[in-house]
Structure 1
């Protein structure tokens, strides 16, 4: 029989009855229809149902459409984690346009670059960022319609736009028909990388990936019915790791948080029975170090998802001792946020808390909707042995990998060389298939020909009871080439010396790995809580 003869391809074509392009727009449509009276968003004393939220999203899409914004256009937003930011994740794609959520910590020059590079037509901004936004629009050289979110719970800043967000919604129709993607490969959002080595790169997401990672979040985190999610993670960061769409799919509630402060987090958890939140390890460490009076009174289960930097086992253990259940995930802007998860095994519950924390500090295995994951030689792409010792680069491929970098074909080709996405992160592969990051390729310290993992040294530092934050980078050394240099923020009110810290490290690891230099003070951080090691590397060179 001919290989081309396939009875399953005869008169069985795709049509409107049996096929629809995957898009997270469908999540809000369903939830608004099935659970119209459930609370969708909470901000201060303002609560809106899913029916109300859906209507506002349609009005946003309609208003944009009436202004000539549609397929192939960019709508940027620079705002805190407010309901309007949540709505933009649906309303902007419903118009056919692409949402570009901008890092709120960027300066005017960087924002101006993003607006120009993304060819932004509309900018939704908020009073807290009015000075930066106004300057950035001028620097972009573009004619941009600026819309102001006028948050009644915030004082300061000014309105810089042509109209407020609510006035703009009044221009739209609540019976607008959402624009669905003609192809699920169509762009849905644009996210810029941090740009620590030059101009940021524009990472393009498609509707299919956004849909699948939203579902992947629900499955890997066992989110269940009607989760209450607190926005400790910035919505600009990989579109809040795709959680606006996850919350809609699960029929949950989105609780706003403007600033990440321990007292606000604990208060909102208690007030609204929050049962899910995300944060970098540095956020978890802040909560661990909060006053015991803030922690009292939480009598329900709370799930925490952490990523952004390899979390020290001691930080995870501290959260677990608070009664919070920690799930460790890993990913990059280029992989829609979490695409690797430290999936838990019931038999691991028999281990002591220290062993469990060490297992949870591993990055894990591919997320439910990710296709493939490996640790391999960066040159040959040959997988490394699963021995927990051999270091290679992490590679991924599948539906949870970006379309590519906007207007940057050479960098896109480089990132996808060999049919895999090259992460730039170095890891080992354990016998059970779990990966564990050892460093970014640029963060490995090579001292006297020996490779030292900065993460390994940081893990020891975080075990010291008087250390709040720690980061280790290479310091140039005439004799050794490089030596580990530790930057440390002590716990508030604690007295600790550099000599004491070095001695502690030497007692807990091989002497050549221990820091030769310790610098005390505040550590520079990104808006997502990541320590900016590139700034620390510069400082170490100047020492």
Structure 2
């Protein structure tokens, strides 16, 4: 039977254009040309200038032969150049590859080769490690030095020597500020490349497309509650999942980016107070830096600041401390493969009336899907059947939708495994509650099986965090002749606080079933990634050699 709605109603240039975040900056520049787009040190950049500099970058890249499918790699801090790269690179249909600034030379070299980088833009803070990486890499990209004009004289890390053949600012000035930029041919075209942490073997290259980036830009404004001209402080590294897509997001509401090269308490408080910051994102370590800051570094501010965090649920004491300091914490969850956070703990007003334990139980849950995510569930990964929504049956958390990656670059096997059964397999274990909220219980590789019983390391860590002296902790499995494996804890204490192994174990006895109590407690500095995530693989290495404690 003929479908009357398909007769003569075809797609054409007038009614169908590829989704892309690039048009958001163009709109902001035309609508609010004089609005401050970027604050970096003493420098301020308007939306008009932000747009024109992005066009200059695109034009200059074109002059060097960069086009569709070419990789432009950047080794940059949270600076204006990084924001310009998020628009200028995809304007010529090229792909932006942001390097983690704390990687070692060997890993950087692997990424440069795997991504087939054509151009590398390097902040001079990182010139030493990049020189070493480029010497190791097979590719020989054009190297451009970025000399940050707002680099502080008292910087904790001195600038390195230039290693490129061009200076970024000179390169930019060679471009045309009226350059005719190019829409992507298809919204499915790649816009950026981000590598996983690679804790087991080489990292995998996660490919994002224009459609997902555009949808995340809009959705971030919703779930972060961003109003007109929001002011966003860059504490989250922009290299991390493209800064959870916030480099593109701010243009939706013509907001202001406040750049921050290093996360320091005084710098954060100064920015929040001086620039009326409304939003920021980060790991729990950033929250700890704020609430544990010395009084001389703190500043008062009148506005409420939304803090988006996407790691393990913050302890109640941290949430209370943040609230007292004027921050409203929003708990998110996601992965590199989902453009950053794609799940939000949507809070219900009536939950405020619960007792402290009840509120903590609600806050411990990761939540429900973002508005731009079509599917979020917990399944048995073998049968692909949904687990009962009973809050107890553990399965694998799975995603489906337009903010899931294209796949892994040059790795069809890993891509097919990740998308088996038509869902993205997160590798995270969790439960589905009766009200549709998910709660993580562990990474599949982090679940501890002791005497046939499953122990969630997250549950044990939550108990440890309730001890007033615990600043950070990690729980992993240690081989055991009798039980197969048992949980052991690594604990980092708060400054000025003390505790003993016996005291910590007795604390856990009051909160956990006997078989879940850590069999040992080691006090050590907890190793973390550059984005504040605890490196469980390093704790597992430590657990293989009891009594040996290695630094981060």
TM over 0.5: yes
Counterpart in 1 of 2:43? 46
Kindly indicate whether the alpha-carbon contact (under 8 Å) linking 1:313 and 1:459 is maintained by their aligned counterparts in 2: no
**Are 2:76 and 1:108 aligned?**
no
Deviations 1:393-423 (A, max 9, x none): 0000010100000010111001000000000
Residue 354 of structure 1: how far off its partner (Å): 4.9
**Are 2:406 and 1:403 aligned?**
yes
Deviations 1:232-255 (A, max 9, x none): 111011100000111111210111
**Are 2:164 and 1:161 aligned?**
yes
**Are 2:134 and 1:137 aligned?**
yes
Deviations 1:27-85 (A, max 9, x none): 00000000011111111101100100110000000000010001010000011111110
**Are 2:477 and 1:480 aligned?**
no
Deviations 1:160-218 (A, max 9, x none): 11111101101100010111101000000000000001000000000000000111111
Counterpart in 2 of 1:373? 376
**Are 2:389 and 1:386 aligned?**
yes
**Which secondary structure state, in structure 1, belongs to the residue aligned with residue 385 of structure 2?**
coil
Among candidates 245, 248, 265, match of residue 242 of structure 1: 245
Counterpart in 2 of 1:512? 515
CA distance in 2, matches of 1:355, 1:322: 23
CA distance in 1, matches of 2:294, 2:448: 36
Equivalent runs, 1:66-465 vs 2, <5 Å:
66-154=63-151, 155-352=158-355, 354-465=357-468
Residue 352 of structure 1: how far off its partner (Å): 4.2
CA distance in 2, matches of 1:450, 1:374: 24
CA distance in 2, matches of 1:388, 1:333: 26
CA distance in 1, matches of 2:493, 2:118: 46
CA distance in 1, matches of 2:320, 2:356: 7
Counterpart in 2 of 1:471? 474
CA distance in 2, matches of 1:394, 1:82: 35
**Which secondary structure state, in structure 2, belongs to the residue aligned with residue 362 of structure 1?**
coil
Residue 124 of structure 1: how far off its partner (Å): 0.7
CA distance in 2, matches of 1:299, 1:284: 18
Deviations 1:438-474 (A, max 9, x none): 0001111111211111111111111111111111111
Identify unmatched segments of 5+ residues in structure 2. Answer: 152-157, 547-552
Aligned residue pair count: 540
Residue 341 of structure 1: how far off its partner (Å): 0.9
CA distance in 2, matches of 1:492, 1:186: 49
Equivalent runs, 1:3-22 vs 2, <5 Å:
5-22=2-19
4+ residue segments displaced more than 6 Å? none
Residue 322 of structure 1: how far off its partner (Å): 2.5
CA distance in 1, matches of 2:296, 2:356: 24
- Bigger mean CA offset, 513-522 vs 394-403: 513-522
TM-score, normalisation: structure 1 = 0.97
TM-score, normalisation: structure 2 = 0.96
Residue 295 of structure 1: how far off its partner (Å): 4.1
Residue 342 of structure 1: how far off its partner (Å): 0.9
**Which secondary structure state, in structure 2, belongs to the residue aligned with residue 233 of structure 1?**
coil
CA distance in 1, matches of 2:314, 2:496: 24
Kindly indicate whether the alpha-carbon contact (under 8 Å) linking 1:316 and 1:357 is maintained by their aligned counterparts in 2: no
